[in-house]
Amino acid sequence: MKLEVYVVCALFLTTIVFCSGSNVDYDELLSVIAKNTETIRKLEDKLNHHEIKHVEQISILENTIKSQGETLNSQWNQLEDIRNKCRQFKRADVDPSTSSNSSDPAFYAYLEAPETNPKSNMVVKFDTPITNIGGAYNIEKGLFTVPRKGVYVFSWTIVSSDRGVIFTQIVVNSEPIGSMITHAEQSYDFHTTTTVAVKELNQGDVVFIRTNPHSRALGYINSGVHFRSSFSGWSLK
């Protein structure tokens, strides 16, 4: 760039020296001016070319940065998807909506303490789960929600208080499919009974144990360290 400036200055000085003579040839002077003008134009074109080249390089760099930013955002979204899938896998053993279809649902829960006030038509909430594969048994409501269609086996055990009479049913949705009575009215000791029910069920069916829908129980449902009133179920392959 410095060389180009020197050339322009030299041409300008040449013009001045030429014009300082006493005998001025105007045609030759115009020729010199034209040459100088052409030289300046070429230098301007060259300068513009360099500017355009720099602008193009800056544009390429900006596009590269933008592309890399989009790639980074895409990779970040992929990472978030992987994290979400990992969270779903961690919840699979307690959330039936995310559990693997290959897992066979099964549960077993018992009463932690006696149910001292068993009202009529009351759902018995077996509140202490030992097994709950698939998470389909809700301990707060005492309900098992069928995660997929199939044949299921259910068993429940009721321990009555001394001189107690406890009638219970196993119900699918609103239909009783089995019942039993735990009778200790003539005894001064606890009494235990167990029964089993097997039924083909559809996804979304709700299964639970309830007391007599028409009359109140005598005594109470007992449960303790040495005897457990419990409810269990599992699917058959």
Tell me the CATH number at 169: 2.60.120.40
**Domain count of the fold of the chain:** 2
Residue 101 placed within a domain: no
- Same domain? For 21 and 123 the reply is no
Rounded CA separation 198/196 (Å): 7
> Does residue 144 lie in a domain region?
yes
Q: What are phi and psi of 84, to 5 degrees?
A: -65, -40
- How far is it, in rounded angstroms, from Cα 192 to Cα 198? 21
Confidence of residue 9 (pLDDT cuts 50, 70, 90): low
Residues 207, 130: Cα–Cα separation, whole Å: 18
Same domain? 187 vs 70: no
Select the highest-mean-pLDDT range: 45-54, 56-65, 106-115: 106-115
What amino acid is encoded at 162 in this protein? D
105, 135 Cβ separation under 8 angstroms: no
**Both 150 and 66 in a single domain?**
no
Q: What are phi and psi of 14, to 5 degrees?
A: -60, -40
Asked whether residue 26 falls in the same domain as residue 111, the answer is no
Distance from C-alpha of 143 to C-alpha of 124, rounded to nearest angstrom: 9
197 lies in the same domain as 227:
yes
| Domain-located, residue 100 | no
Q: Among the listed ranges 36-50, 78-92, 104-118, 160-174, which one has the minimum average pLDDT value? A: 78-92
> CA–CA separation, 171 vs 140, rounded Å?
17
**Of the candidate ranges 66-75, 84-93, 174-183, the one whose mean pLDDT is the lowest:** 84-93
Range of the domain at 19: 2-90
Q: Is residue 177 assigned to a domain?
A: yes
pLDDT at residue 16 tops 60? no
Over 80: is that where the pLDDT of 188 sits? no
Summary mean pLDDT of the chain: 80
pLDDT of residue 159 exceeding 80, the answer is: yes
Q: Do both 112 and 214 map to the same domain?
A: yes
Residue 30 lies in a domain: yes
Q: Do 196 and 142 share a domain, yes or no?
A: yes
